[in-house]
Amino acid sequence: MQRFDESELMGPTLRQLEILVAIADHGGFGAAADVLGMSQSSVSHSLSSLERTVQGELVHRVAPVRLTRLGEALLPHARATLAGARAFNIAAAAHRGADTAAPIALAVPPTAAHGLLPDLMVLWRERLPHVQVKIFEGFDEELGRWLEDGTVDAAVLIDPDPVPPGAVTLATDTFHAVVRRDHPLAGQNSIDLADLLDDPLLSSTAGCEPQVRRLHSLAGLRYQPAQRIREVTTLLSMVEAGLGVAAVPSLTANLLPEALTLVPLLPRLDRHLVLTGPTTRPWHPYVTAVRDVCENHTRSQQA
């Protein structure tokens, strides 16, 4: 008579899913144990139990520790399940009238992290003292994926199309040329994009490239960057070194070294930074609260 493991009948526990995610995020059993406050043997035992439940190996137990193909396939579902469980607990507490102190994870692109986030963090701390916002800084192509697989509870997306239901626009910024202060065009009120063609174009791939492509299309120009650079700070360092010019959003102003300046670009192109929760599962109640604070703050400033 075939015997069944009790774990197979019950399915995975939240703790087992937490262990899988911690191993994936922190790169090993020991690091996962430290984060979760468990012994390493307990982490290993729980993972083995989870592997029996799913009837497959989830982690290669050799250095460096990494997920198997099955582990990679199940990881997004583990993240989404844990995110849903966190939201469930907070919603239940809210129904009892309790403001439970709990964190939410927010993903932001680099320019928003520098130019927009500090003031928002102060606002959220004042209005929602029980909500802890943990920041995950990433590039545009990562943010949407993190949001939908449960890595984060909310994200600031740039020009999402379509705008997700319930989302709120946090800011709209305009593209500028970033040039050295001794550049011949640095003192202009605005610069036509075509007038920058004499300089090598340095382009950031950290989220702005689609808009820079569109800017060239609006101007009837071919998009031909001399260099494509991932890190915004590296791009600005190269402009400072006289290696070219770049088109960047105005929020980049907070990152500029003294030797550089921003000049509005023509044709004008705006981008919209939108705060949203996931589209494939209910929002965490505290994400809704953070969104409402932002929306009310914007209305009060416009009144």
Q: Tens digit of pLDDT for each residue in 37-85?
A: 888 888 888 889 899 999 999 999 888 889 999 999 998 888 888 888 8
User: 6-67 adopts what CATH topology?
Assistant: Arc Repressor Mutant, subunit A (1.10.10)
State the average pLDDT over residues 247-259.
92
Beta carbons within 8 Å of 147's beta carbon, 6+ residues apart: 107, 154, 155, 157, 276, 277, 278
What are the sequence ranges of the domains in the chain?
A: 6-67, 77-167+277-302, 171-272
Backbone angles phi, psi at 25, to 5 degrees: -80, -30
CATH class of residue range 171-272: alpha beta
Query: How many Å apart are CA 192 and CA 127, to the nearest integer?
Result: 43
Residue-level pLDDT at 288: 94
Q: Tens digit of pLDDT for each residue in 83-133?
A: 888 888 777 877 776 667 778 999 998 888 888 899 999 999 999 998 999
- 77-167+277-302 classified as CATH 3.40.190.10: yes
Terminal Cα distance for the chain, rounded = 74
State the average pLDDT over residues 223-249.
94
Q: Tens digit of pLDDT for each residue in 139-149?
A: 888 898 899 88
* C-alpha triplet 142, 138, 256: angle, nearest 5°: 140
Query: How many Å apart are CA 78 and CA 18, to the nearest integer?
Result: 8
Tell me if domain 77-167+277-302 and domain 171-272 are identical in fold: yes
Q: Tens digit of pLDDT for each residue in 261-273?
A: 999 999 999 999 9
Q: Tens digit of pLDDT for each residue in 198-232?
A: 899 999 887 788 899 999 999 999 999 999 998 88
Pull the structure tokens for residue 45. 């035992």
Pull the structure tokens for residue 88. 């469930």
Q: Is the model's pLDDT at 7 over the cut of 50?
A: no
Query: How many Å apart are CA 114 and CA 112, to the nearest integer?
Result: 5
Instruction: Identify the band that residue 248 occupies on the pLDDT scale cut at 50, 70 and 90.
Output: very high
Residue-level pLDDT at 98: 64
pTM of the prediction? 0.76
Q: Is the model's pLDDT at 1 over the cut of 70?
A: no
* Radius of gyration of the chain from its Cα atoms, rounded to whole angstroms: 23
Query: How many Å apart are CA 86 and CA 283, to the nearest integer?
Result: 11
Identity (one letter) of the amino acid at 77? H
Q: Tens digit of pLDDT for each residue in 14-36?
A: 888 888 988 998 888 988 889 88
Q: Which residues pair with 136 in a beta bridge?
A: 107
Q: Is the model's pLDDT at 170 over the cut of 80?
A: yes
Q: Are 252 and 179 in contact (CB under 8 A)?
A: no
Tokens 């994926």 sit on residue:
145
